[in-house]
Amino acid sequence: MTDTGTVFARTQDGLGLLAPIDGAGALEELTATVNAICGRIETGAEKTTLVLQLSGTPAGGREWPGDVSIQAVNRWERALRRLERLAVVNIAVARGTCGGAALDLLLTADLRIAATDLEIVLPVNDGHFWPGMSVHRLVQHLGMARARQIVLWGVTLALPKAIELGLVDQVGSDLDETVHTAMVLTGQISDQEMTVRRQLLLEAASVGHDEALGLHLAACDRELRRLRQVRSTDAVVPTAAAAP
């Protein structure tokens, strides 16, 4: 257990690191929790998949983040940015009402798994939409047109709509089995390759063609060198028929 109160544990199948996060906590506490998770991943030598188990939004609860300083908000946003740049696959599992901190964390994940009772609520305080970076992430995920429909009108998204928009990737009545299947599939991608894929996706939403070209050429060059190395290795390995 860490001093933030977060319990890290291996998933039952041993393929991932499970990190429960109670989104009802105070912002400073949540920031410390996310940073502790990032620190564990960044310093750990083992290959793993991070599974964020999200909870804590009361039904109908739309107020977020409470009476906090702008410095605390900045630290929270930086922790989220650190989380979404980890060199491991990040799977978020959400159930029930998902808003506030849980929604922010859901939007940083590479793969989003929902229980059948999931409902997404956007943060609203006294009738005013909370202008955090969730707006930016919604535009990146959905594009301007669809994000505008959500942000301007502050709708509550039931599960079918969240699936249609692509905010939820998988739904399961048995979340443990769904998460296990997802970890097996994503575990076939190396951490380095996942980092490259994620970076290219994030940059594509905000960077112009000429600026993006350099990033894509660098990624292509790495892939070409990897392919040459594979072919070279295959060429020196004797086949079963040729082996003495």
Q: Looking at residue 95, what DSSP letter applies? A: -
Banded pLDDT at 45 (limits 50, 70, 90): low
Q: How many residues does the chain have?
A: 244
pLDDT single digits (tens) 189-218: 666 777 778 778 877 767 777 777 787 787
CA 113 to CA 15: how far, in whole Å?
Answer: 17
pLDDT recorded at residue 3: 42
Q: Looking at residue 15, what DSSP letter applies? A: S
Question: Percentage of the chain with pLDDT > 90?
Answer: 36
Q: Which residue has the higher pLDDT, 146 or 189?
A: 146
Decide if pLDDT at 77 tops 90: yes
pLDDT recorded at residue 2: 41
Banded pLDDT at 244 (limits 50, 70, 90): very low
User: Taking Cα atoms as reference points, which of 24, 86, 85 lies closest to residue 54?
Assistant: 24
CA 240 to CA 129: how far, in whole Å?
Answer: 66
Query: Residue 43: helix, strand or coil by DSSP?
Result: helix
Sign of the C-alpha dihedral, residues 8, 10, 15, 18? negative
Mean pLDDT of the chain: 84
pLDDT recorded at residue 1: 39
Q: What are the Cα distances from residue 121, in Å, to 53, 99, 101, 114, 157?
A: 17, 5, 11, 14, 6
Residue appearing with tokens 């989104």: 23
Q: Which residue has the higher pLDDT, 188 or 133?
A: 133
**Stretch 32-45: mean pLDDT, rounded?**
88
Residue appearing with tokens 């040459």: 228
> What contacts 16, CB < 8 A, 6 or more positions away?
10, 48, 49, 50, 51, 91, 179, 183
185, burial (CB in 10 Å: exposed 0-12, middle 13-18, buried 19+): exposed
User: Taking Cα atoms as reference points, which of 198, 63, 220 lies closest to residue 126?
Assistant: 63
pLDDT recorded at residue 118: 94
pLDDT single digits (tens) 220-241: 788 788 788 888 887 766 555 5
